[in-house]
Amino acid sequence: MYKIQKENLKALYAAIAAEDDLFLPVRSAGQVNFGLWTQEAEADIDTLKTVKSAKDIFFPQSENLYQVHRQEGKMNVQGAELCRKPFVVFGIRGCDVKGMEVLDKVFLSEPVDSYYAARRQMGTLVAMACGRPETSCFCKVFGVDCAAPAGDVITWLVGDTLYWEPKTEKGEALTAKVAQLLEKTDASAVEAEKQNIRAIVEKLPYSHLSLDKWGAAAADKNFDSPLWEQLYTPCLACGTCTFVCPTCQCYDIKDYNTGNGVQRYRCWDSCMYSDFTMMAHGNNRNSQMQRFRQRFMHKLAYFPANNDGMFSCVGCGRCVDKCPGHLNIVKVIKAFEKEGV
């Protein structure tokens, strides 16, 4: 276990960034999101939840795949370069690390997504415990311990001291690079902090949601429930929930005429949109109720059925905070929990 004073964190960031790209929560225009650290950046590791997760460092909101252009009468296809430079993601919370595990199930299963895989290989995760979980958090429901998150390095911010514990080979390698800034210490302060955090989590309003009505077996029995007709009506189909979600992985692939060929790229899409997966004959989910149902059935039934029981919600609470219709996965879970009572 190591420690560093909060006032020295800028020196720590600079030491990391001297060799690797460093991404961390950055405040800009009143919002906090993960961004590339520079000396001028306003780092903000005190804000519990960034607006978006660190997902788009590994799965960008928009990314080029390849370019096609005509050369001497032939078509030349040039793929986008894979990530080759190591980078560090600092300050990622436990729910978002769990979100990466969900994305791994999607993008690292056969056929492996080479763009995502390259970033995962190059990335080192410095996770941070949640000193003060918020009322919209419910990560415990999905097996996340925000007092001791997974990661290559785990950190705890206790008062004006950041505690640092490497957990993997990547974490040990990063620790060696910044060892001159770290001071060895015991874990007593961290153990006390863990107990404090877990005590807070137990008192949060959504920490004890029941998933008894969900999982792989729920795919058939919940699909035709009349509850969907009641639940979906406040939905505006804005897609906000999907864009702030750390586990949503839907994307579209489009072509752009550059004037000197065609650039193929992919960008995030949302199952809440009426043109999502639109085909020549139309859309196989042609009502907002069906699209709404698809989102939550996927997270709570279809994904567990195909991934050894793993849910594709991590309880980060971003949809609870951001939905303009005050409609979210918590309301869905609670509605089905009460069904028949």
Model confidence pLDDT, tens digit, residues 274-320: 777 666 566 567 788 998 999 999 999 999 999 999 999 999 999 99
Q: Is the pLDDT of residue 213 over 50?
A: yes
Do 84 and 118 touch, CB atoms closer than 8 A?
yes
Asked whether residue 208 is domain-assigned, the answer is: no
Asked whether residue 211 is domain-assigned, the answer is: no
Q: Are residues 167 and 233 in the same domain?
A: no
Do 149 and 121 touch, CB atoms closer than 8 A?
no
Domain boundary among 171, 203, 235: 203
Strand 153-158 and strand 123-128: the pairing is parallel
Q: Are residues 172 and 311 in the same domain?
A: no
Q: Are residues 185 and 225 in the same domain?
A: no
Q: Are residues 17 and 139 in the same domain?
A: yes
pLDDT of residue 246: 96
For residue 139, name the pLDDT band (cuts at 50, 70, 90): very high
Q: Are residues 99 and 134 in the same domain?
A: yes
Q: Are residues 171 and 40 in the same domain?
A: yes
Asked whether residue 210 is domain-assigned, the answer is: no
Q: Are residues 134 and 237 in the same domain?
A: no
pLDDT of residue 341: 47
Structure tokens of 264?
């193929």
Rounded to whole angstroms, the Cα distance separating 54 from 227 reads 33
Domain boundary among 150, 173, 203: 203
Rounded to whole angstroms, the Cα distance separating 232 from 288 reads 7
Domain that holds residue 243: 218-338
Tell me which residue has tokens 């060696």.
176
The three-class DSSP label of residue 193 is: helix
CA–chain centroid gap for 251, Å, is 15
The three-class DSSP label of residue 20 is: coil
Asked whether residue 209 is domain-assigned, the answer is: no
Q: Which amino acid makes up residue 292? A: F
Separation of first and last alpha carbons in the chain:
49
Residue 68: Cβ-neighbour burial (10 angstroms; 0-12, 13-18, 19+) = middle
pTM equals 0.92
Q: Are residues 279 and 182 in the same domain?
A: no
Residue 224: Cβ-neighbour burial (10 angstroms; 0-12, 13-18, 19+) = exposed
Q: Are residues 198 and 274 in the same domain?
A: no
- State how many domains the chain has: 2
| pLDDT one-digit tens code per residue, 240-287 | 999 999 999 999 999 988 888 899 999 998 888 877 766 656 656 778
pLDDT of residue 172: 97
**Average pLDDT of the segment spanning 48-77:** 90
pLDDT of residue 69: 86
Computed from CA positions of residues 43, 45, 51, 55, in that sequence, does the dihedral angle turn out positive or negative?
A: positive
